Amino acid sequence: MNVAVIGMGYVGATMSVALGLHGHQVLGIDVDKEKIASFNKGIIPIYEIGMEENLLSLMEAKQITFSEDLSDIDTCQVVMIAVGTPASADGRADLSYIEEVAKQLGKVMNRKKIIVIKSTVPVGTCDVVSHIIQDEQKRRGVSIPFEIVSNPEFLREGRALQDALYPERIVIGCSSSQAKKVMNELYHKVADKILFTSVRNSEMIKYASNAFLATKISFVNELARLTERVGADITEVARGMGMDSRIGEKFLHAGIGYGGSCFPKDTEALLAIGKDAEVELSLLQAVKKVNISQIKWFCQKMKTCMGHLQNKKIAVLGLTFKPNTDDIREAPALRILDFLMENGAAVSAFDPKGMKATSSLYPEVNYCATPLQAIRNTEAIILATEWPEIVKLDWKTAAKIVAKPILFDGRNALNPVEMENWGYHYTGVGVFT
Ligand code: UGA
């Protein structure tokens, strides 16, 4: 099948490679000329496991091509829109990129198409896109048949390609049997995972899923503040809870809060949808509030433990919002840097992939090539992201090269007993020590 993917960001790039690997002929489109030039050289501007090598082999087989010209889509039966929907100032999803693409499609489309909305969009957006295309066609005096299909993406950064190739579910909102047939063919390798539903249900499922996962995290994070006060350990509590299959063990890992380009943005957007619909989403409001206060609570704990931070050498290990990505958007580690700077600490940092992006925002930090370099002679270490290279550090040796073995584990990634045995003063999240 000939498929065009518009928007070569995280989702678009991953879907292009996955659809290519599933045997389709893919055309990747983006308005950003530099980005297209980079893809044409086989270089993907994001870090994601497995992407580059697969892209190169698809390019060699001429199964994937790239263009900045949207009118090239005409030979494609399916057009997938995967442009960004960033948060606008009031929290609502900014749909201007989607609307612009819709306008362009209306202008250049000459043959029948299925238009798939992959981007995360509020309920009703598929109808808006449909109207924009129809209006443009009217202006041209043509009537080319098309159907808008909602097909949200659930991939996780760091495992994006795996998630796209072997999804747990594919949610498809469409109305006609013709669209169902085409979508079944598009996902022929994983068709058993498809849930066909209405367009509006499909749009809603995406927000509802992210909001629910964020709720689990905020729930366990708030509980963590209690467990350490009452002599319990949140890790054990969560383990015990998770053994009940109705609760489930995943996304119950306490820490310094969720970050990234999705949870903060999508919870905000769902709150805005609620406001517009005059439905108060008080639970989701609390989820957001807990996430914001969790990092403040953790920073306050550090200050209480250390007295003051003025001129103290402190190492931050991990900067990205989670491991296996170079993405620092909304990363809790950045709020820790803010706090340390405000309190006059001298900060060193290490991250396997996030230092380049962080250094342009925080030039005053001393970025180090290894975690051991970052912690040398420091009075405290903060583990902010649980990268394997950080968790598996030789912590015993590390204790000997610091000025003071004070360790704040913002992800409960280390074994408190082991750390105490090696001489650390260990502070986790919700861990009674
Ligand atoms: C999330 C969803 O998991 C995907 O299903 C969805 O497709 C994606 O958003 C999206 O909307 O595009 P992602 O943002 O890549 O994926 O990251 P997650 O793995 O969900 O982690 C989000 C944040 O929650 C991270 O900061 C992570 O450290 C934190 N987290 C996660 C916890 O603090 N505790 C947990 O138990 C799990």
pLDDT in tens, 136-162: 999 999 999 999 999 999 999 999 999
pLDDT band at residue 47 under the 50/70/90 scheme: confident
- Per the prediction, the chain carries an average pLDDT of 96
Question: How far apart are the CA of 254 and the centre of ligand 1, in A?
Answer: 13
Which tokens belong to 376?
A: 């040398």
Question: How far apart are the CA of 156 and the centre of ligand 1, in A?
Answer: 7
By three-state DSSP, how is residue 39 classified?
helix
Question: How far apart are the CA of 312 and the centre of ligand 1, in A?
Answer: 33
Ligand 1 atom with the smallest distance to the CA of 322 is 28
State which fold the 198-433 domain adopts. Answer: Rossmann fold (3.40.50)
- Of the listed 76, 262, 299, 368, which one is catalytic? 262
Share of the chain above pLDDT 70, in %: 100
Q: Whose CA is nearest to atom 34 of ligand 1?
A: 253
Q: What is the average pLDDT across 403-411?
A: 98
Ligand 1 atom with the smallest distance to the CA of 259 is 26
Question: How far apart are the CA of 10 and the centre of ligand 1, in A?
Answer: 14
Q: Does 76 participate in catalysis according to the annotation? A: no
149 forms beta bridges with 116
263 lines ligand 1 (CB under 6 A): yes
**Residue 387 and residue 318 in contact, taking contact as beta carbons nearer than 8 Å:** yes
156 lines ligand 1 (CB under 6 A): yes
**Residue 336 and residue 255 in contact, taking contact as beta carbons nearer than 8 Å:** no
Q: Which of 120, 154, 258 to mutate to test the pocket of ligand 1 (most atoms within 8 A of CB)?
A: 258
Question: How far apart are the CA of 231 and the centre of ligand 1, in A?
Answer: 29
The angle, 0 to 180 degrees and rounded to 10, between the axes of the packed helices 96-108 and 125-140 is 30
Q: Please spell the DSSP secondary structure of 17-33, one letter per residue.
A: HHHHHTT-EEEEE-S-H
Residues 38 and 242: their CA atoms lie apart, in Å, by: 44
ipTM of the complex: 0.97
Residues within the annotated binding site for NAD(+)? 30, 35, 85, 120, 157, 265, 329
Per-residue pLDDT for 432 more than 80?
no
Q: What is the average pLDDT across 66-87?
A: 95
228, 231, 233, 234 alpha-carbon torsion, rounded to 10°:
-50
Q: Which of 263, 266, 267, 330 to mutate to test the pocket of ligand 1 (most atoms within 8 A of CB)?
A: 263
> Strand order of the sheet with strand 194-197?
64-67, 25-29, 2-6, 78-81, 113-117, 146-150, 170-173, 194-197
Question: How far apart are the CA of 261 and the centre of ligand 1, in A?
Answer: 9
Q: What is the pLDDT of residues 166-182, one digit of tens each?
A: 999 999 999 999 999 99
Q: Whose CA is nearest to atom 3 of ligand 1?
A: 156
Task: Find the helix or strand (DSSP H, E) in which 105 lies.
Answer: helix 96-108
Residue 402 sits at the vertex; the CA angle it makes with 396 and 404, to the nearest 5 degrees, is 105
Which superfamily does CATH assign the domain made up of 2-166 to? NAD(P)-binding Rossmann-like Domain (3.40.50.720)
Residue ranges covered by each domain of the chain: 2-166, 198-433
Fold: same for 2-166 and 198-433: yes
pTM reported for the whole predicted model: 0.95
pLDDT band at residue 426 under the 50/70/90 scheme: very high
106 lines ligand 1 (CB under 6 A): no
Exposure string over 37-60, b if 16+ CB within 10 A, otherwise e: ebbeeeebebbbeebeebbeebbe
Q: What is the average pLDDT across 86-90?
A: 91
Residues within the annotated binding site? 30, 35, 85, 120, 154-157, 206, 251-255, 259, 265, 322, 329
pLDDT reported for residue 433: 74
Q: What is the pLDDT of residues 295-322, one digit of tens each?
A: 999 999 999 999 999 999 999 999 999 9
pLDDT reported for residue 210: 97
